[in-house]
């Protein structure tokens, strides 16, 4: 018989054991325990007060550990920054380079990683400078078929932008084609590079499940979790490089699984009726009160906020079996908030809750979708018309068996 999660949590406090970690599954189960290991690359072994539990990683939505003062890993400050064509940005320190490969240390990684310039959108080698020669602007408007080199003038110390074609690194120099002439640039003169958007390509997306790790230094990284043994973990990036990390540096991770699809990642068709001649926009993963969605004292990172009257319709491809969500009015809404909620599978109303008020208990939905082509979420005017009705479909997602 499994011990109740709350009992395990308080027992860990009383016995002085490591504080419990929190696990949320794609089916909205929440429990406490300690993540021990990744087994065979597919299952998480979890210790729940001495009882071991194996959970397939694609059944997990998120994991996080409590923040305990004085336990954060302390890493040397990174001097530079990289932006990958996959969209990931990470602080880094340049070590060396050869050909089209650069070797970097990416805190809190324990070992250097090698990355191809073709997978990088930009690389800043030096500490960020206020007068950067236009480097920050170039990140927003990169060149197309050429590259930008930002180099430090030896005499003035000024950072200059040069339009070049990067050829690679040779013997401690960056070889660039400048005005049709091959020129070497010493690495210690390079402030940064912004590479042509049409000259490289993002790597193929990794097969799911993938994870997004959030570190205690505020950074995050996305890839496949290939190791977790309680002390060390490994994250394989889309380009094949692997970050070797201390588990203690990871505050939380979220899982992206082929068995779950969050509605906030989709683009629905929208119908809205204004309140007092004003249409209030619907929001993804936030409410007008700020980031995240708050229901009955719990914060959800993902979900939708609809303000009456709003209907969102999502096309279904038939591959998902259920719609699941937690519904209610955001805790930060007006005390006068009052609204009606409806969910439609095609044109059939499969859930309805009227005169829902702020502060009421959340309602958990799990609605079968087999055979249906459309899913519609609706927030309608309640008894008080519209007084800060921030209607939440928190953790709104499509699920596969």
Tokens at residue 252, please?
């939380």
Tokens at residue 63, please?
């994991």
Architecture of domain 261-399: Sandwich (2.60)
- 150-180: pLDDT as tens digits: 999 999 999 999 999 999 999 999 999 999 9
> Domain 210-257 is in which class?
mainly beta
**Which CATH entry fits the domain spanning 5-64: 2.30.30.100, 3.50.50.60, 3.40.630.30, 3.30.465.10?**
2.30.30.100
Q: What is the pTM of this model?
A: 0.77
The mean per-residue pLDDT over the stretch 346-360 comes to 93
Q: Hey, CA dihedral for 322, 326, 328, 334, is it positive or negative?
A: negative
Whole-number average pLDDT of the chain: 89
Domain range list for the chain: 5-64, 80-194, 210-257, 261-399
- 293-334: pLDDT as tens digits: 999 888 888 999 999 999 999 999 888 999 999 999 999 988
Of 236, 238, 235, the residue nearest 206 (C-alpha): 238
Same fold, 5-64 and 210-257: yes
In degrees rounded to 5, what are phi and psi of residue 27? -95, 15
């Amino acid at each position: 018989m499994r011990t109740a999660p709350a009992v395990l949590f308080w027992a860990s406090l009383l016995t002085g054991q490591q504080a419990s970690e929190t696990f949320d599954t794609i089916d909205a189960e929440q429990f406490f325990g300690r993540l021990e290991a990744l087994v065979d690359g597919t299952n998480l072994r979890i210790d729940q007060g001495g009882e071991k539990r194996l959970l397939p990683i694609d059944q997990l939505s998120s994991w996080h550990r409590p923040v305990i003062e004085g336990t954060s890993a302390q890493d040397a400050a990174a001097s530079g920054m990289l932006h990958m064509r996959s969209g990931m940005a990470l602080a880094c320190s340049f070590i060396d380079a050869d050909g089209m490969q650069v070797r970097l240390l990416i805190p809190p990684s324990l070992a250097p990683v090698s990355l191809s310039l073709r997978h990088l959108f930009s690389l800043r080698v030096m500490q960020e400078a206020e007068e950067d020669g236009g480097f920050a602007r170039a990140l927003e408007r990169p060149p197309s078929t050429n590259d930008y080199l930002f180099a430090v003038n030896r005499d003035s110390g000024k950072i200059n932008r040069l339009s070049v074609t990067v050829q690679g690194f040779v013997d401690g120099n960056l070889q660039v084609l400048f005005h049709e002439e091959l020129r070497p640039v010493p690495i210690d003169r390079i402030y940064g590079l912004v590479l042509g958007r049409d000259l490289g390509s993002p790597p193929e997306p990794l097969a799911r499940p993938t994870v997004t790790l959030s570190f205690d230094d505020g950074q995050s990284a996305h890839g496949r979790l290939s190791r977790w043994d309680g002390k060390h973990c490994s994250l394989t990036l889309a380009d094949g490089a692997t970050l070797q990390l201390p588990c203690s540096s990871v505050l939380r991770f979220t899982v992206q699984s082929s068995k779950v699809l969050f509605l906030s990642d989709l683009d629905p068709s929208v119908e809205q009726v204004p309140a007092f001649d004003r249409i209030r926009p619907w929001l993804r993963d936030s409410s007008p009160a700020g980031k995240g969605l708050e229901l009955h004292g719990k914060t959800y990172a993902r979900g939708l906020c609809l303000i009456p009257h709003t209907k969102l319709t999502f096309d279904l491809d038939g591959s998902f079996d259920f719609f699941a969500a937690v519904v209610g009015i955001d805790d930060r809404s007006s005390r006068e908030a009052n609204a009606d909620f409806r969910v439609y599978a095609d044109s059939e109303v499969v859930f309805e809750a009227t005169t829902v008020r702020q502060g009421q208990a959340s309602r958990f939905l799990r609605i079968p979708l087999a055979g249906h082509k459309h899913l519609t979420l609706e927030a309608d005017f309640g008894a008080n018309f519209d007084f800060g009705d921030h209607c939440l479909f928190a953790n709104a997602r499509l699920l596969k068996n």
